[in-house]
Amino acid sequence: MIAGAYQSLPAMQQVRLDPMITGFNPADMYAVDHIRRVLALFPGVFSGIGEFTIHKEFVSSKVAGETASLTDPALDRILDFAAEVGLPVILHNDLDIPFAKPGAEPVYLKEMKDLLLRHPKTTVIWAHIGLGRVVRPTQDEPTTDHADRGPAYQHIIEQLLSDPRFSQLYFDISWDEVAKYVVQTPEIERRVVEVFNRYPDRFLFGTDNVAPADQAAQPRVYELWAPIWARLTPEASVKIRRGNYERIFDAARVSVRAWENANVK
């Protein structure tokens, strides 16, 4: 359906879009065959994979069949193929479980690191910085910095960003649920701006609206970030709002089209 809608557009509209491959089960060993088949059936259309979900609060357990896991070989096959083709991967995986035990390291942090280490050549965009409606970066007090649940959230992100072994990792800051966390207090805003200005190449903005009723819903998420945009350096502002996306997906288009030319008859 996505490919059909895309192909029905005039060329001048097609260049504005980067359709993504979804609709597969990451716990299925044949998921990678679905992705390969989509590229073969619709060459020239798709630029990436996702967003797709591994661990997501109360949603993952409702998916039929085997529960997805960061250690599943089916996921490894998908990320291996993404590296071969040059497909960026937008992956939703909560950093922690809902209502996690205080003082513990986030449940999925080690598994996420291990996954990234197994796939150093796969461009991974971590959706919503690992946050959810219940999986929060702070405790009940807006000024508490997650420190009573193990490493402070900001420090976890900075450790990943500063480690050259994870240079293929990017963070997506879409979704109004993420925005509400970062504008809770001036101190939280200050820390977010500090990280963004230090690592401007590693964050991508998006709206993440599901079935918006009208166009007015799209800029609403963008406007929630206004206090952050106002305090970024000009370079960081452009990169995070637009430049990093263009850089990653312009390169993906070239790589994916080259793979299709070599592998699709």
Report the CATH number at residue 167. 3.20.20.140
**Within-domain flag for 11:** no
Q: What is the pLDDT along the chain (265 residues), one digit of tens a residue?
A: 999 999 999 999 999 999 999 999 999 999 999 999 999 999 999 999 999 999 987 677 777 778 899 999 999 999 999 999 999 999 999 998 777 776 678 889 999 999 999 999 999 999 999 988 777 774 433 434 433 344 478 889 999 999 999 999 999 999 888 888 888 889 889 999 999 999 999 999 998 888 888 888 889 989 999 999 999 999 999 999 999 999 999 999 999 999 999 999 8
**Within-domain flag for 80:** yes
**Within-domain flag for 13:** no
What's the number of domains the chain is made of? 1
- Output phi, psi for 39, to 5 deg: -65, -35
pLDDT computed for residue 102 by the predictor: 67
**What tens digit of pLDDT does each residue of 209-259 get?**
888 888 888 899 899 999 999 999 999 999 999 999 999 999 999 999 999
- Supply the range of the domain harboring residue 43: 18-263
**Within-domain flag for 3:** no
**Within-domain flag for 10:** no
